[in-house]
Structure 1
């Protein structure tokens, strides 16, 4: 790669990182400054700013403070827009007053005053259709594409497009206040906020449409916002359980890929690489989550993750207990993916042949799993263990055709080559 090509590659990578990391923050700040009805304009300005960054930096090089550059250009574009539209002068004064606060660490305000968190709660307003709230949060504040949202919600792009249209139509027609609710309204909105942060972390932990397997920026932002929730609402055991779950998974990030960036199967991970400080913090929040009487899916998923972290080896994991936890999880959150996990764990307790029978039955009974690549990747592995090479290869090939992740494709192709 020649120096010029290398510079362009660096710019591509940085723009992509900034889009994921700063897009939602810019949209949040502009929307909070101008009002929720400004949301679509704020999105256009954020996208236009990032496009200008790509063009400008290609000629002039990457500036010393890329984050500050992004914010300053976005702010100027917003001010030019409001001048053209004759919006009240008070908006200018608000932006000028707040500019100093965002030149360094953008939007790291105290606790619930964090602009992204306030925007997330606003997106969960009861006026906005429930099915649209999560899609709106992930696209507007998480920088997700419609394809990524569809994958996260086991839906399709056209359905997500319709949800977003309905949500933005309600925003245009309503006067939604950008504030954190209280009382019963808070509890109801908190459910959707937690689901959105959960999906944000999952997309970072297993990137569905990226050259990278792990998007640490997604994981860290999800943890940051969830920790912010836990600090502001210490009595909300749902939030403590969610934070515990994230920290257990975050502790294992380093062991999930090798030095060459290739995927390492869970059974083969080097447990000495697991971050013990994060595991201790995860146990703390799991303990905090047990103080209430409410049992949520996050409590059970965190307990499952805790069992994996507690086990000295993959083979010595308490699989029967994990099966019981998944069974309880399915009772309160019936999902095809949890059925898949139950089948996988049952193969650990019994044998590969039993697991194969369970997965083949799922393909026939669960429509949403028919195009779910992890099912076929798992089935391929079980056929390997059952010494059925041809069936293993065909399932790995099927899984490869269904995933959009380049790292997953590379991993599956290596498995196919090894078997061939």
Structure 2
């Protein structure tokens, strides 16, 4: 396949984003966690070789298979050069030390082994001994193929900060001897909860990006959904909470195209063109939400998915079953007491029992004064109650707290209104 230099670069960048995490996971399972940096170096070398080779010789018929073959060969070169294949531990080599090197390399790159390697890496990265911020940074760097610069941009921090988070997480993994494995039994449920939280945080960062220039980072949302789908499609990790989270993300992602206009300005849910919502994703959301009903009781993801589903099935904003939304929020608040949940609940409460009652409840919440969304909700409630000056004050305070240019513009319009 003949491509221009720019087209070739774009293809490599696309494949790197989608395949780097898979290849790095496989190589780490081969070499062991203590050689994670080596695995990442091989991935980088493979992509550089693709850039150079494809530009002059054309793109191969199966570029994905080409990348895996080159990465496998580079790994095999390392093994042979260091003469340590026979000395690999039983754990690292999966007990196959007596196989010849070529057979071992081939076996690791079968589709089932690639999936297994990603799961092992995901559960190791999301070990509770590692902080949530470091978990997300590691997921984005190792499993999703984002650069340190891209991760820093996503979280509005410096490359140095992200690099330190990743370094500390790697050291923690090594020092604590955290294994590359998917836990079993009761331990699986505990670790799975941490994995799901990390995935949801990743999706949330993409859905309402802290990046000042991008309200939505669809690439982050897509990677979160890909990792959750990996869990949902694997019998060992297919659980009701996994299906519920995947349903929630499908319902939320279905509204992407309608959330902003051609200039990037925010379109509120009440004003969105519902014909632009992705019906395929909504249908997928229903499938996973129905499948999640097999569990003993609802998780927070079930309840949030139920709320998102009610918005998706309503023909108009006014026709939304707000009383049912409020009921779900009541259940969610009982399951997960949080001022943030109470704040979201107040929006539904205003629809059901009036803005005055919602205003009283929001005003009594504590710990949210530094959160721009808190002041935006207060501004809306004061405006609905006809109290113009307090509304303006809270809109202006929200403008000061948010870093998003799109949100600042929305709040500016509200203030002028």
Please point out which of 343, 346, 350 is paired with 1:340: 343
Unaligned runs of 5+ in 1: 1-6, 102-108, 152-156
Question: Does residue 1:275 correspond to 2:278, yes or no?
Answer: yes
CA 1:64–1:307: 2 relative to 1, 3 Å:
same
SS state at 2:264 partner: coil
TM-score (norm 1): 0.73
Please give the alpha-carbon distance, in whole angstroms, between the structure 2 residues aligned to 1:411 and 1:297.
30
Please give the alpha-carbon distance, in whole angstroms, between the structure 2 residues aligned to 1:383 and 1:11.
54
CA 1:302–1:97: 2 relative to 1, 3 Å:
same
Q: Mapping of 1:18-417 within 5 angstroms?
A: 24-25=21-22, 27-40=24-37, 86=82, 88=84, 97=106, 109-110=111-112, 113=115, 115-125=117-127, 128-129=129-130, 134-135=135-136, 136-137=138-139, 140-141=142-143, 143=146, 145=151, 167-209=169-211, 211-233=213-235, 236-362=239-365, 365-366=366-367, 369-416=368-415
Per-residue CA deviations over 1:194-224 (Å, capped at 9, x if unaligned) read 1122122222221122522222222222222
Give the aligned length.
390
Q: For residue 310 of structure 1, report the CA deviation from its aligned partner.
A: 2.3
> Are 2:27 and 2:75, in contact at CA under 8 Å, matched by a contact in 1?
no
Q: For residue 229 of structure 1, report the CA deviation from its aligned partner.
A: 1.6
> Are 1:254 and 1:274, in contact at CA under 8 Å, matched by a contact in 2?
yes
Per-residue CA deviations over 1:332-382 (Å, capped at 9, x if unaligned) read 1122210111222222223334333333332xx22xx22212112222333
> Are 1:132 and 1:164, in contact at CA under 8 Å, matched by a contact in 2?
no
> Are 1:150 and 1:160, in contact at CA under 8 Å, matched by a contact in 2?
no
CA 1:141–1:411: 2 relative to 1, 3 Å:
farther
Give the aligned CA root-mean-square deviation in angstroms.
4.5
> Are 1:251 and 1:274, in contact at CA under 8 Å, matched by a contact in 2?
yes
> Are 1:383 and 1:389, in contact at CA under 8 Å, matched by a contact in 2?
yes
> Are 1:352 and 1:382, in contact at CA under 8 Å, matched by a contact in 2?
yes
Please give the alpha-carbon distance, in whole angstroms, between the structure 2 residues aligned to 1:214 and 1:138.
16
SS state at 2:364 partner: helix
Q: For residue 173 of structure 1, report the CA deviation from its aligned partner.
A: 2.2
Comparing 374-383 with 163-172, greater Cα deviation is found at: 163-172
CA 1:394–1:147: 2 relative to 1, 3 Å:
farther
Q: In structure 2, what is the equivalent of residue 3 of structure 1?
A: none
Please give the alpha-carbon distance, in whole angstroms, between the structure 2 residues aligned to 1:158 and 1:336.
33
Per-residue CA deviations over 1:119-174 (Å, capped at 9, x if unaligned) read 11122346x357677444456545474796699xxxxx999999766643332224
Please give the alpha-carbon distance, in whole angstroms, between the structure 2 residues aligned to 1:226 and 1:182.
18
Please give the alpha-carbon distance, in whole angstroms, between the structure 2 residues aligned to 1:396 and 1:87.
66
Please give the alpha-carbon distance, in whole angstroms, between the structure 2 residues aligned to 1:383 and 1:95.
66
CA 1:111–1:415: 2 relative to 1, 3 Å:
farther
Please give the alpha-carbon distance, in whole angstroms, between the structure 2 residues aligned to 1:95 and 1:415.
62
Q: For residue 48 of structure 1, report the CA deviation from its aligned partner.
A: 9.8
CA 1:415–1:138: 2 relative to 1, 3 Å:
same
Q: For residue 64 of structure 1, report the CA deviation from its aligned partner.
A: 6.5
Q: Which protein shows a greater Rg?
A: 2
Please give the alpha-carbon distance, in whole angstroms, between the structure 2 residues aligned to 1:44 and 1:229.
27
CA 1:39–1:182: 2 relative to 1, 3 Å:
same
> Are 1:139 and 1:146, in contact at CA under 8 Å, matched by a contact in 2?
no
CA 1:377–1:287: 2 relative to 1, 3 Å:
same
Unaligned runs of 5+ in 2: 87-92, 94-100
Q: In structure 1, what is the equivalent of residue 90 of structure 2?
A: none
Please give the alpha-carbon distance, in whole angstroms, between the structure 2 residues aligned to 1:372 and 1:230.
33
Q: In structure 2, what is the equivalent of residue 4 of structure 1?
A: none
CA 1:290–1:359: 2 relative to 1, 3 Å:
same
Please give the alpha-carbon distance, in whole angstroms, between the structure 2 residues aligned to 1:14 and 1:396.
44
> Are 1:238 and 1:298, in contact at CA under 8 Å, matched by a contact in 2?
yes
> Are 2:399 and 2:408, in contact at CA under 8 Å, matched by a contact in 1?
yes
CA 1:75–1:412: 2 relative to 1, 3 Å:
farther
